[in-house]
């Protein structure tokens, strides 16, 4: 598709991008849409080819394009059922939390990479999130039960 002739300012969807060498050249030129093109690499190239470019895109100055790079990491996890050590490290460095750009990518990794293949930090995140979700569920059940009991007691007094 794109052998040095990708129109970076054109109408073609970066999701169709499939040329790692052209991505590298565009990175050196400082082109826009590199994060979006990283998603295309995740869809259309091997994990080994896409991974170093996704990691570089995670460091782009444009926050929107950085967000697309994290989407590319999640896409790579979904499609391949694994990530490279560099992608695991980049996601771990960003961390998991409500304000983290990596939150959805980490969630995708935990959903699509088999537990036994996850690095230790990701395994810990899986266990932590499972326990946290269970505690939140129990808390909601308790809160609902207390509310039902209060309403029942109020009804008896009337």
Confidence of residue 98 (pLDDT cuts 50, 70, 90): confident
Selection from 30, 33, 29, 27 nearest residue 17 by Cα: 33
Token representation of residue 8:
């970076």
Higher-confidence position of 138 and 69: 69
Confidence of residue 123 (pLDDT cuts 50, 70, 90): very high
Distance CA 108, CA 75 (A): 8
Token representation of residue 29:
């030129």
Domain-wise residue ranges, the chain: 1-118, 119-158
- pLDDT on residue 2: 41
Token representation of residue 107:
């969630």
pLDDT surpasses 90 at 156 = no
């Amino acid at each position: 598709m794109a052998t040095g002739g990708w129109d970076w300012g054109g109408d073609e969807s970066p999701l169709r991008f499939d040329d790692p060498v052209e991505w590298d050249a565009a990175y050196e030129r400082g082109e826009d849409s590199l994060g979006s093109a990283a998603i295309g690499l995740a869809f259309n190239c091997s994990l080994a080819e896409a991974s170093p470019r996704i990691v570089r895109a995670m460091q782009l100055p444009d926050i929107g394009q950085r967000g697309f790079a994290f989407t590319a990491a999640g896409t790579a996890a979904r499609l391949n059922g694994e990530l490279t050590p560099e992608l695991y490290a980049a996601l771990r460095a960003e961390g998991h939390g409500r304000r983290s750009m990596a939150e959805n990518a980490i969630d995708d990794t935990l959903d699509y990479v088999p537990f036994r293949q996850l690095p230790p930090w990701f395994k810990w995140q899986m266990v932590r999130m499972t326990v946290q979700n269970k505690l939140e569920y129990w808390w909601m059940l308790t809160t609902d039960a207390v509310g039902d009991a209060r309403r029942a007691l109020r009804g008896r007094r009337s």
